[in-house]
Structure 1
């Protein structure tokens, strides 16, 4: 089986939590599509892989940090489906659980330092890497861009196909974490104004997510700040919320994206942003492999 034969389907599951206060919530469980190639990362990759195949590429080169869910899913897919992967990493060499997996999956790693990684948006950034790896297709950080967004548009179809299974005729909007805004943009494109999409920013405003989204879509969404002080900033309230949520309904979260997004939704409901009877789709974007960096949370993710 090749990557173009694999069409994962994410289940839609209603959840009951005390703080919902009459708001109905169903979770699109992208974390359940696969133990390793998990979450929205695969959907963001599909159109990039198609572009690479059309260009005659033998693999993918992309970017991320030492805990990158995107690189983790890319490396796992490369190993499973037999295509080469190269990762350009932020910072200096370190053996995080994610990096150990990248090596085990056979991804070739290059550490760019912090200054070198900040240059990733420069017009000439990809030139030397194309010369070094002429047969690899370059993919932006996080699988971003229009190709990544178009790959996520199928999620709207998957939700609509399952509404009757959970007793819903329709829904009132989407809620999800936004790291690059790619998945959010894909949902907005697919909705074409039918339902609003709310993105809980997991990164500070100066990361340029609003500008990246605006380059792809102009209307039909709203971004709300939910980074809790910065990307990868974690606090006791957040960790306690994640633990309480899992005990209450069995939904595993991680503290960088999904935990922050769901906690932000709780705060919006408490502020009466959404009235009783509102039906929302929460996108579980995966990333549970990142829980291994937090000893107080169980891993929720198999080791290689």
Structure 2
């Protein structure tokens, strides 16, 4: 029986960068990357309600999907090892070795490689039937922990924020800023805010990945109006696309601000914030909560490329 009681808290820290100070914009970073060395970032909050549902249904573990650098599968496998429940990962592509895949294996996750065509079939009706038959004791979790269940797990972030505002000298804030990969965490914050504060999502993937309809579907299922948020393209042409300008920005921001960023999500989101400030979309005096969604484990595969690009003049 799955009975896990763990409610990690993330600290709120000021982000001190020259371009923010010059613009008169204050940013507090909700450091989800610090909740745990392995079960890091927003992934735990999306997984937690799936674990609760699995326990309700009498399941003994979880099965889910992701790529060979998946932060979601990494957090799931780490949770399985930490709390002693079985995990199965259905991976995109052909067998390969990455830092993430090595960790998944070390954590005891059983892996199945679906190829690319097999992975694309994940949205088809009946996809889970064969896997339920093969692993009847495991509860299936959508890719990235998505859907309304995962979004509801992220509503706690607002509760986590409120008692920490005074540490920044804030009585209130003007909105949230975060990267969006599936839109699940963003949808959870929209649900939690219920219109009180806007949520800005910097798309880490191209619009063709369908984040906007996914967010609309989650809100519709929850019976909430499709409002209170906006999505802007921060993908820079593709998921995990890293160019020299982004690499230099990440490395410069880390040196100045002291907070590590990942190139796939948080780096792109912070660069998108600077661009929005530069074009006048964020007004002087704004106080924004930037959600550090983790993902630093995935940076290992891009570390040398990041440094090489960042060194270009």
Residue in 1 that maps onto 2:66: 64
Task: Tell me the equivalent position of 2:107.
Answer: 105
1:1-304 equivalences in 2 (<5 Å): 4-20=4-20, 21-217=23-219, 218-296=226-304
C-alpha separation in 2, matches of 1:246 and 1:177? 17
Cα distance between partner residues in 1 of 2:160 and 2:36: 16
Once residues 168 and 7 of structure 1 are traced to their aligned partners in structure 2, the CA distance between those partners, rounded to angstroms, is 25
Structure 2 segments unaligned to the other structure (5+ residues): 220-225, 308-313
TM-score, with normalisation over the residues of structure 1? 0.96
Displacement after TM superposition at 1:294 (Å):
1.8
RMSD between aligned alpha carbons? 1.0
Once residues 126 and 156 of structure 1 are traced to their aligned partners in structure 2, the CA distance between those partners, rounded to angstroms, is 33
Secondary structure of the residue that 2:285 maps to in structure 1?
coil
Q: Could you list the runs of 5+ residues in structure 1 that have no partner in the other structure?
A: 299-304
**SS of residue paired to 2:53:** helix
Which whole-Å CA distance do the structure 2 matches of 1:47 and 1:121 have between them?
21
Q: Any idea what SS the aligned residue of 1:245 has?
A: helix
Number of residue pairs the alignment of both structures matches: 297
Q: Secondary structure at the match of 2:218?
A: coil
Instruction: Give the C-alpha shift of residue 4 in structure 1.
Output: 2.7
Q: 1:59 to 1:163 in 2, by over 3 A?
A: same
- After the TM superposition, which of the residue ranges 158-167 and 177-186 deviates more from structure 2? 158-167
TM-score (norm 2): 0.93
Alpha-carbon shift at residue 3 of structure 1 (Å): 6.3
